[in-house]
Structures are given as structure tokens and as C-alpha cells.
Amino acid sequence: MNTLVTEIRAIITKEKGARRRIKFPLTLWLFILPALTPLTIFWIYPMLYSLYISFTDWDYMSTEYNFVGFSNYADLMTNPLFYGVLWNTLYFSVGVVVPSVFGGLLLAMLVVKKQKGMGFYRTLIFSPWVTPAVAVSIVWSWIYEPQIGLANWLLTAVNLPALEWTSSTTWAMPAVIIVTIWKGLGWCMIFYLNALKKVPESLYEAAALDGASSWQKFLNVTLPLISPTTLFLVIITAVDALQAYDQIQVLTQGGPAGSTRTILYMYYQSAFEQFNMGQATAVATVLVILTASLSLLQFMFSRKWVHYE
Amino acid sequence: MKQLFTYTTKHFFLLLFSFVMIFPFLWMVVSALKTKEEIFQFPPTLWPETPMWHNFIDAWQLAPFGQYIFNSAYTAIAIVAIQVVNSALIAYAFTHFRFKGKNLLFAIVMLTYMLPAAATYVPSYVILADWNLLDTHKGLIFSNAVSVLGIFLFRQAFMQIPKELVEAAKMDGASHWRILWKVIYPLSKPTFLTFVLISFVQNYNSYLWPTLILNSEEKQLVTTGLRQFFIQEGAYGIQWPLIMAASSFAVIPLLLLFAFAQKWFISGISDQGLKG
């Protein structure tokens, strides 16, 4: 009886509150507009406007332009250079995502236990993430220096041939990938740390009773329970990889011979070097579609990883 | 015995790995201390014969790094402050107001979250040009005035605050503004702190967009200024010690910030399950 009364009271106050809130639309606007104004001007409108420009031949300099329909897209689709760019993007993304996620998991498993020094390792491993990509890429370009760089010194020290690194079409991409992994590994580790901590101890105990080895425990308990985190990390690292720019600009400028030109780099070059806004925005549309598909996947599976928390 | 062995191997591996991870930073500082001749020695020396501390002063004087760092810090702080306030406001509206089209509005915000910022650059550039805001810090700040991540995080945090608390405050006649800052903010401080740190780091480190819109030397951010210094100073090779000294200026403030706030970075990021 008592609970019923409190419940009814709660509903009444809720109703009252609701009515009162709807009565003050001005307050509501004051809460929404400060975010909504810049969101509209610098996100929503540009997205739509970018799509519009992609159907024109605008060159930024002149005020006049023609509506050219799908020809920018058709040009992209028939341009072998663009397929090279898509291939580079795929190469870069897979090259970054797979080692970052696996490496992140391995490191997280090593530092997850509450033991002396673990916090120290975590801090060191995570530290590259907070530093500017431009600055650390400059440092890495010194490490990659072909004649006297540290990378080649290490290679020759173990009797491997020295590499041309960023000036070789074969090794430029791996060089950029290494820097990107180095910077993002700690990020993946942290997410796994959290996921591993949430695996109930009782499941391991049960598995131990069944005589499971550590490897079997990992395979049958840990891996399935952290799979939502794995999926999440694969998607967000891939989304980030699609937007990599800073390290490419410093290390290779998309070269040599376009071997590190990824989709965002191509967008930058067409828009702000060649001022071919039509083509650039068409590339942007492709980038949006790629990102949106990945995000949609994340969204579709998000229920799954919420479930485990 | 076996346990001790595993324990030692693990620590050995972790120690080695951590060392590899921070080695580029150490290498940066060590290289900054070398003379021009020493830096071209092969095999490289691990520690310079006489550390040239003067290189730091020389680099500092060759380009206005103090100005650059100030520009980065001040624009990032302004951006973060604006983002915090307006994200908190709209997140409050999403969680504590009932209004028509709320779900639609939230769906739009979520959609923006999924799209790459880069795809907005061309039109945003045109907008800033039309408003005469190119090459101004105002333009940089205003174009970053909203953070969808912030809205998302704050909404998530506000949803976990017991409704009764808010109702009670309302009964006492508190305004929405007061409720937000006196009731909700103290209870969701960790989220605020995490967001402030992450947004600050991202804005301080941002490069492509500031490079596009800022041209004059005195307005440059440290990232752009550093890159320019890198190209100017003997383009790829002559003044490496000075370039490494300059890189240290850009990197060390953030490493220091991280050293002080690492607990918040690490626990905050994993708890929120947010994306970069």
C-alpha cells in the first residue's frame, strides 16, 4: 500500500515537472542553442554543402562554377590513381588495426594484475598517445634517416640490410604504419584492461575445476567475454586509420610515387593543393561512406558490448 | 620456481617493451644535445660527449616557440571551456527536458559523431573565409566550438544521476542552470575531467585544420610552427639537433601534463568507453 502511494506520488510529480518544463521553451532553447548553432554551421551544413560541391566543377578561385552531375564520381571510379589510394588506405588500415588490437590485448594481459610496477608500465606504454603526431613523426623521421638513422643502425647491428625507409616505395608504408601503431598501442591496451577486469573470477575458477589449462581458459573464457571490446577496437581504430594525415604529411607527403597516399591525404591534396574542390568533395563523400559504414557496424553491434558491462 | 621464472620473464619483457615505447622521446632529447658533427656519426653515440644544452636556447630563439606554445595552449583552453559548457547544457536538455523532436535531435547529433571531421573542411573553410575569420584564433575557436563526443559523454553521465535528486532541487526552487552546476556537475566530475583532458590534448595536438586556416607566423600553433621549422631548418638534414630540440618543446609539455594526470587519463578513458 505504502509503495503504491509513493509510486503514485512520483508519477504526479513527474507529470507536474513535465508540464512545467514544457511551459518554458525559452529556457530549453538557451540550453540547446549554444551547442546546436556551431553544430549546424560547422558540421551539418558543411556535410550537405560538401555533397553539393561534389556535383560541381568549382575551383575555389572563381565565383562561377558548373553543375556537372556525377562526373566527379565517374572520374574517380575510372581513375587508376584512386584505386591505388583505396588500396593504400586498406593496406594502412589493416596494417595498423591488426597489430594494435592484438598487441593491445597482449600488453593488457601482462599488466592487468595488481602487482608492483604495473601502473608504471601502463603509463609508459600509453604516453605516446598524448603527444602531437606531427612532433613525434619528426622524431621518427630522424630515426628512419637512411644513412645514419637509428633504425638502420639496429638493422645492421643484427646483420640485416639497411632500408631506405620513407624514400622507398616498399618501405614507406610500413614506416608510417609503425609510427601509427607505436602511438596507438596504449590506447587499445587501456580498453582491454577494462574489459579483462570485468571478466568474473568465478568463470576462471569453474574452468580450473574442469581441468582447463591457461591456454584453454584464455580461448574459452577470456576471448569470448572480451570479444565485444575487440570488435569495438577494430572499428574505432579503423575509423581513425581512415583519417590518418599528420604522420603521413611529415614522414612521406604521400610519396614516394604515391605509395603512402591514403584517402584523406588525397582529399587534402585535391582540395588544398590543386583546388579541385569538385573532386576533393567527391573523395570526401567516399570517406564519409566508408566511415559511416564502419560506424553503422559499431552501432549495430553496440547492444552486444553494452550487454556484457 | 616456475612462478618466479614467469614473473621475472614478464617483468623483463615489460621493462624492455616500455623502454622501446619511450625510446623515441629519449632519443629526441639526446639528439637535441649533440653537436652537428656528432649527430652524423655512424654508429650513433648513445650519449653526447659534451651535452650541448645551448641547442635548446638556440632553437627557442630561431622561431617564436614561446608564442606558438602560448597560441596552442590558449586556443585549446578556450575551445575546451566552450565545449564543456555547451555540451553540458545540451546534454542536460537531453536528459532533463521533455520536448518535441528530442529523439530526432539526438539522432542527428549521433550521426554527426559518426562522420569524419575532415569531410567538413572545404565548406568550413569557405564559411570562415566569408566571415573574414581566416587566419584568426577566433575562427579556429569558433569552428571547434562544439564537441559531439562531449555531448555524448555528458549525456551518458547525466543519465546515471538519480532523478530524485534533480526533482528535490526543483522542489527547492532551483533553476535549471543551478541544478546543472550545483547538483549534476559535482556528481559527474570524473566525466568532466576526462573530457577536459582529452579535448585539451586533441586541440593542442591538432594540425591539419589549424594549418589550413592560420597563416601568419605569430598566430601559428606549435604543431604547425614546428613543422615549418622542420622544413626551414635545412630541410631534412642539416640542423637535426635544433629540430630535435624544437620537437622537445612541442612534446614535453604534454608528457608533463600526462605525468600529473595519468591516473585520470587511464581510468577515465577506459571507464567511458569513448573513442578518440
Helices assigned H by DSSP within chain A: 2-23, 25-39, 45-53, 71-78, 80-111, 118-126, 133-143, 150-157, 172-197, 201-209, 214-217, 223-242, 246-251, 263-272, 277-308
In this structure, is residue A60 part of a structural domain? no
Contact A235/A191 with Cβ under 8 angstroms?
A: no
Give every residue of chain B whose pLDDT is below 70, as ranges: 234-237, 270-276
Chain B: nearest CA to A59, how far in angstroms?
11
pLDDT of residue A304: 60
Residue B270: which of A30, A128, A194 has the nearest Cβ?
A194
pLDDT of residue A15: 53
All cell numbers assigned to B145: 566550438
Quick check: bond before B162 cis, omega within 30?
no
In this structure, is residue A221 part of a structural domain? yes
Residues A86 and A46 reside in one and the same domain: no
- C-alpha angle with apex A75: A70 to A81, nearest 5 degrees? 145
Neighbouring residues of B97: CB distance < 8 A, sequence distance ≥ 6: A21, A28, A31
The domain that holds A161 is classified in CATH as 1.10.3720.10
Residue that has been written with the C-alpha cell 605569430 in this structure: B218
Are A117 and B14 in contact (CB < 8 Å)? yes
Model confidence pLDDT, tens digit, residues A260-301: 999 999 999 999 999 999 999 999 999 999 998 988 887 777
Which chain A residue lies closest to B83 (C-alpha atoms)?
Answer: A35
Residues 59-88 in A contacting B (C-alpha not used; CB under 8 Å): none
3-class secondary structure, B45: coil
Residue A1 pLDDT > 50, yes or no?
Answer: no
Residues A155 and A292 reside in one and the same domain: yes
pLDDT band at residue A2 using 50, 70 and 90 as cut-offs: very low
Report the CATH number of the B24-274 domain: 1.10.3720.10
3-class secondary structure, A259: coil
3-class secondary structure, A56: strand
Interface test with B, best of A32, A122, A269 (most B CBs within 10 A): A32
All cell numbers assigned to B169: 532541487
Query: How many inter-chain contacts (A to B, CB under 8 Å) are there?
Result: 267
Contact A188/A104 with Cβ under 8 angstroms?
A: yes
| A contacts of B240 (beta carbons < 8 Å) | 142
Residues A254 and A299 reside in one and the same domain: yes
Cα A70 from Cα A184, distance rounded (Å): 38
The H or E element spanning position B123 is helix B121-130
Residues A34 and A136 reside in one and the same domain: no
pLDDT of residue B239: 84
| A contacts of B93 (beta carbons < 8 Å) | 28, 31-32
In this structure, is residue A237 part of a structural domain? yes
Contact B114/A292 with Cβ under 8 angstroms?
A: yes
- Which DSSP letter does residue A65 get? -
Beta-carbon neighbour count of residue B256 at 10 Å? 10
Are A38 and B143 in contact (CB < 8 Å)? yes
Residues A102 and A225 reside in one and the same domain: yes
Are A271 and B121 in contact (CB < 8 Å)? yes
Number of domains in chain A: 2
| A56 φ/ψ angles, rounded to the nearest 5 degrees | -125, 175
Residues in chain A: 309
Helix axes B2-32, A80-111, angle to 10 degrees: 130
| B243 φ/ψ angles, rounded to the nearest 5 degrees | -65, -40
- Which DSSP letter does residue B136 get? -
Residue span of the structural domain in which A30 resides = 1-53
Residue A138: which of B18, B25, B230 has the nearest Cβ?
B230
Amino acid at A103: G
Are B205 and A107 in contact (CB < 8 Å)? no
Q: A116 in contact with B at a CB cutoff of 8 Å?
A: no
Q: CB under 8 Å, gap of 24 or more: what pairs does A269-273 form? A: A271/B121, A271/B122, A272/B212
Residues A172 and A238 reside in one and the same domain: yes
Mean pLDDT of A102-115: 91
Residues A13 and A136 reside in one and the same domain: no
Contact B46/B30 with Cβ under 8 angstroms?
A: yes
Contact A244/A264 with Cβ under 8 angstroms?
A: yes
Is this prediction's pTM over 0.90?
Answer: no
- Which DSSP letter does residue B100 get? T
Cα B198 from Cα B76, distance rounded (Å): 11
Residue that has been written with the C-alpha cell 551547442 in this structure: A35
Which of B232, B256, B260 has the alpha carbon at shortest distance from B62? B232
In this structure, is residue A33 part of a structural domain? yes
Domain ranges of chain B: 24-274
Alpha carbons within 13 angstroms on the beta-carbon side of residue A148 total 15
Model confidence pLDDT, tens digit, residues A205-230: 888 888 888 888 888 888 888 888 89
Are B207 and A133 in contact (CB < 8 Å)? yes
| B contacts of A193 (beta carbons < 8 Å) | 270
Residues 231-290 in A contacting B (C-alpha not used; CB under 8 Å): 232, 236, 239-240, 242-243, 245-246, 249-250, 264, 267-268, 271-272, 277, 280-281, 284-285, 287-288
| DSSP secondary structure letters along A123-191 | HHHHGGGGS-HHHHHHHHHHHT-TTT-HHHHHHHHTTPPP--GGGSTTTHHHHHHHHHHHHHHHHHHHH
Q: A110 in contact with B at a CB cutoff of 8 Å?
A: yes
pLDDT of residue B74: 94
Which residues make beta-bridge pairs with A56?
A: A67
Cα A258 from Cα A80, distance rounded (Å): 12
Contact B199/B150 with Cβ under 8 angstroms?
A: yes
In this structure, is residue A66 part of a structural domain? no
Are A232 and B42 in contact (CB < 8 Å)? no
Contact B189/B198 with Cβ under 8 angstroms?
A: no
pLDDT of residue B211: 92
Model confidence pLDDT, tens digit, residues A34-69: 999 999 999 999 999 999 999 999 888 888 888 888
Amino acid at A222: T
| A contacts of B159 (beta carbons < 8 Å) | none
Are A246 and B207 in contact (CB < 8 Å)? yes
In this structure, is residue A58 part of a structural domain? no
Are A236 and B226 in contact (CB < 8 Å)? no
Residues A80 and A142 reside in one and the same domain: yes
- Which DSSP letter does residue B207 get? -
pLDDT band at residue A13 using 50, 70 and 90 as cut-offs: low
Q: What percent of chain A has pLDDT over 90?
A: 53
Interface test with B, best of A26, A30, A39 (most B CBs within 10 A): A39
Interface pTM (ipTM) of the complex? 0.90
Alpha carbons within 13 angstroms on the beta-carbon side of residue B196 total 16
Which carries the bigger pLDDT value, residue B275 or residue A247?
A247
- C-alpha angle with apex A278: A274 to A283, nearest 5 degrees? 85
Could you give the C-alpha distances from A43 to A249, B20, B124, B162, in angstroms and in order?
A: 24, 40, 8, 33
Contact B106/B90 with Cβ under 8 angstroms?
A: no
Residue A188 pLDDT > 90, yes or no?
Answer: yes
In this structure, is residue A255 part of a structural domain? yes
Residue A19 pLDDT > 60, yes or no?
Answer: no
In this structure, is residue A179 part of a structural domain? yes
Are A128 and B201 in contact (CB < 8 Å)? no
Burial A37-58 (b: 16+ CB within 10 A, else e): ebbebbbbebbebbbebbbbbb
Residue A309 pLDDT > 50, yes or no?
Answer: no
Residues A216 and A119 reside in one and the same domain: yes
